[in-house]
Amino acid sequence: MPTQTISNLVPWILALGMFVIGTTSLSILGLGPALTRDLATDPTDAGWLVTAFAATFALAAPLAQFTLRRRLAPRTLILAGASILAASLIWAALAASFQALLVARIASAIGGALIAPTSAALAISLVAANRRGAVLATVFAGFTLATVGGVPIATWLTLWLEWRGAIAAIGVAAVLFVALAAIYLPRDTGVSNAAQKQPSEDLQLLAPVLLLMGTVGMLSTQFVIYALMGELLGQQFGVSAGGLPFAILLFGILGVAGNAAAGALSDRVGPEPLVWASFGGLAAFLSLMLLDLGPYLGAVVISGCAFMGTLFATPQQSRLVGLVPEQHHGFVLALNSSASYLGIAVGSALASALGVSTGLWALPVGALGLLALTAAVTFAFGVIKK
Give the residue-averaged pLDDT of 263-291.
89
Give the residue-averaged pLDDT of 136-149.
78
Give the residue-averaged pLDDT of 11-36.
84
Give the residue-averaged pLDDT of 164-176.
93
Same domain, 58 and 176: yes
> For position 29, what pLDDT does the model report?
65
Same domain, 299 and 356: yes
Final residue belonging to a domain, choices 196, 217, 233: 196
pLDDT band for position 221 (50/70/90)? Answer: very high
Cα distances (Å, whole numbers) of residue 148 to 19, 52, 303: 11, 21, 10
Let me know if residue 162 belongs to a domain: yes
pLDDT tens per residue, range 342-365:
887 788 778 878 877 888 888 899
Helices (H), 227-361: 229-231, 244-269, 271-288, 294-321, 329-357
Final residue belonging to a domain, choices 196, 218, 233: 196
pLDDT band for position 269 (50/70/90)? Answer: confident
Let me know if residue 201 belongs to a domain: no
pLDDT band for position 19 (50/70/90)? Answer: very high
| Cβ neighbours of residue 96 closer than 8 Å, sequence gap 6 or more | none
Same domain, 99 and 221: no
Please give the tally of structural domains in the chain.
Answer: 2
Same domain, 178 and 273: no
Let me know if residue 210 belongs to a domain: yes
Q: Buried b vs exposed e over 140-163: b needs ≥16 C-beta within 10 Å?
A: bbbbbbbbbbbbbbbbebbeeebb
Let me know if residue 128 belongs to a domain: yes
Nearest to 132 by CA among 330, 325, 314, 334: 314
**pLDDT above 70: percentage of residues in the chain:** 85
Same domain, 172 and 87: yes
> Using CA atoms, how far apart are residues 338 and 334, in angstroms rounded to an integer?
6
**pLDDT above 90: percentage of residues in the chain:** 26
Same domain, 111 and 243: no
Let me know if residue 277 belongs to a domain: yes
Let me know if residue 233 belongs to a domain: yes
> For position 196, what pLDDT does the model report?
46
> For position 369, what pLDDT does the model report?
94
Q: What is the pTM of this model?
A: 0.73
Q: Kindly state the helix (H) or strand (E) to which residue 62 belongs, with its residue range.
A: helix 46-68
pLDDT band for position 204 (50/70/90)? Answer: low
Same domain, 76 and 155: yes
> For position 104, what pLDDT does the model report?
94
* Whole-number average pLDDT of the chain: 82
Same domain, 172 and 273: no
Give the residue-averaged pLDDT of 245-256.
80
Q: Is 9 exposed, middle or buried (0-12, 13-18, 19+ CB in 10 A)?
A: middle
> Using CA atoms, how far apart are residues 102 and 9, in angstroms rounded to an integer?
34
Let me know if residue 337 belongs to a domain: yes
CATH of the domain at 371: 1.20.1250.20
Let me know if residue 252 belongs to a domain: yes
Same domain, 159 and 14: yes
Final residue belonging to a domain, choices 175, 196, 217: 196
Same domain, 182 and 213: no
Distance of CA 77 to the CA centre of its chain: 19
pLDDT at residue 192 tops 50: no
Give the residue-averaged pLDDT of 170-197.
76
pLDDT tens per residue, range 48-93:
787 788 888 888 888 887 788 777 888 899 999 999 999 999 999 9
> For position 305, what pLDDT does the model report?
92
Highest mean pLDDT among 37-41, 84-88, 338-342: 84-88
Structural domain for 241, as ranges: 206-385
pLDDT band for position 111 (50/70/90)? Answer: very high
Same domain, 125 and 261: no
Neighbours of 91 (CB within 10 A): 18
Same domain, 36 and 126: yes
